[in-house]
């Protein structure tokens, strides 16, 4: 390396306590930007290169994904303005890929802002709409109204027609999947079934909803649980390369206050437990990920979760994971005897994937939990 990176002592101490190799962050010197071409688009790789006036490289293991120089601005691109390409980090794309989205899935994104993954989910659901009308929907939840406004902007820009947003506490959110999508009844639910329906008086007004699900009655029944749940939970962000670069550019004071405060770290772990538990309550199969490499915020949370749900949860393999640049798992050997399926958790780190860090546990509900 010709350029040296210098970190504050508090950050180095944090990495040492979490057994994180400082060399993971060498990728800061060779950052890449990632884009994705919209599903069903007639736009080609060559079209994008002409529009951006640069070469782009195909990401072989993630469909429609490409990398380019991090200094290249895509905001002025005509294809970006037209909603034909997305700017989205590779780690975010892998998180969505792990959910294995099908066009009729009802998906809950429990920490959705600013909205890149939510748009990816909705776009995948529209993949075959030129041949079939899909009935899948995506429901986004986030506690921050200001950040949720970005999601609303993305939904409109990319013309997504079966999405809704709620400003709410994800640890307590309890709105089930829509019973209808336009004129189509949710495949998981039939009005002819002899089930107990609950029409609550606690109707939660959406922050934004597209026309086809705008007037959902918010019925509650086991048949209206979500097919997939994504919990990309709040974390310390030491695994987010984009965040770390900001602190090099702007100074480290805010990082130390926001992410290394001991009280905040403990609060984050409590929040993560609450989010994953509530997501599981509303779930069929699902996935949990964070942009931290911290053992306390990843493996330890999953072990805690498995202890809470010994008879109803297992960790499934991520589809085609052998094709992805995953990092070796570092902290699972001590838990494998008690929880054999924990071997299926996946780590992506900057060193191995040249993108932000990511941890994925694809959790399958094997028995229905009380809802």
The set of catalytic residues is 291
CA–CA distance, 90 with 325 (Å, rounded to integer): 11
CA–CA distance, 63 with 357 (Å, rounded to integer): 20
Coil, strand or helix at 251: coil
91 near 225, Cβ under 8 Å?
Answer: no
CA–CA distance, 279 with 271 (Å, rounded to integer): 12
How many CA atoms lie less than 13 Å away from 73 in the CB half-sphere?
A: 2
5 near 12, Cβ under 8 Å?
Answer: no
String of b and e for 201-211 (b: at least 16 CB within 10 Å)?
A: eeeeebbbbbe
- Is position 109 annotated in a ligand binding site? no
- Is position 261 annotated in a ligand binding site? no
- Phi, psi at residue 89, to the nearest 5°? -65, 150
How many CA atoms lie less than 13 Å away from 189 in the CB half-sphere?
A: 27
> Which helix H or strand E contains 276, and what residues bound it?
helix 262-281
Alpha-carbon distances of 123 from 162, 178, 330, rounded to whole Å: 10, 18, 34
Angle between helices 299-308 and 262-281 (to 10 degrees): 40
Beta carbons within 10 angstroms of residue 215's beta carbon: 11
- Is position 47 annotated in a ligand binding site? no
Coil, strand or helix at 324: coil
Tell me which residue of 222, 333, 330 sits closest to 282, measured CA to CA: 222
Task: Extract the annotated binding site.
Answer: 142, 169, 232
Known binding residues for S-adenosyl-L-methionine = 142, 169, 232
């Amino acid at each position: 390396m010709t350029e040296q990176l210098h970190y504050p002592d508090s950050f180095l101490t944090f990495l040492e306590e979490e057994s994180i190799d400082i060399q993971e962050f060498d990728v800061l010197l060779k950052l890449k930007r990632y884009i994705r071409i919209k599903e069903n688009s007639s736009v080609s790789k060559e079209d994008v290169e002409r529009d951006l006036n640069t070469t782009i490289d195909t990401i072989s293991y993630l469909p429609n994904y490409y990398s380019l120089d991090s200094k290249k601005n895509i905001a002025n691109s005509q294809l970006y303005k037209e909603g034909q390409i997305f700017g989205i980090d590779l780690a975010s794309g892998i998180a969505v890929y792990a959910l294995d989205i099908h066009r009729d899935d009802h998906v809950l994104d429990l920490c959705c802002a600013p909205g890149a993954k939510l748009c990816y989910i909705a776009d995948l659901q529209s993949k075959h709409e030129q041949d079939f009308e899909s009935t899948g929907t995506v429901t986004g939840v986030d506690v921050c109204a200001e950040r949720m406004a970005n999601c609303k902007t993305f939904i409109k820009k990319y013309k997504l027609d079966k999405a809704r947003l709620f400003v709410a506490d994800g640890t307590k959110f309890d709105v089930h999947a829509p019973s209808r999508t336009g004129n189509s009844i949710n495949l998981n639910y039939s009005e002819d079934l002899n089930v107990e329906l609950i029409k609550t008086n606690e109707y939660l007004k959406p922050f934004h909803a597209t026309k086809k699900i705008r007037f959902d009655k918010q019925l509650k029944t086991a048949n209206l649980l979500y097919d997939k749940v994504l919990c990309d939970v709040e974390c310390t962000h030491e695994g987010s390369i984009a965040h770390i670069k900001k602190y090099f550019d702007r100074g480290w004071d805010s990082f130390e206050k926001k992410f290394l405060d001991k009280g905040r770290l403990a609060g984050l772990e409590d929040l993560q437990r609450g989010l994953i538990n509530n997501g599981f309550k509303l779930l069929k199969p699902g996935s949990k990920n964070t942009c931290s490499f911290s053992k306390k915020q990843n493996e330890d949370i999953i072990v805690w979760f498995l202890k809470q749900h010994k008879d109803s949860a297992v960790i499934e393999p991520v589809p085609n994971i052998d094709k992805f640049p995953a990092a070796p798992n570092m902290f699972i050997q001590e838990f494998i005897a008690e929880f054999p399926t924990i071997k299926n958790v996946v780590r992506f780190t900057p060193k191995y994937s040249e993108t932000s860090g990511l941890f994925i546990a694809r959790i399958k509900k094997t028995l229905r939990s009380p809802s």
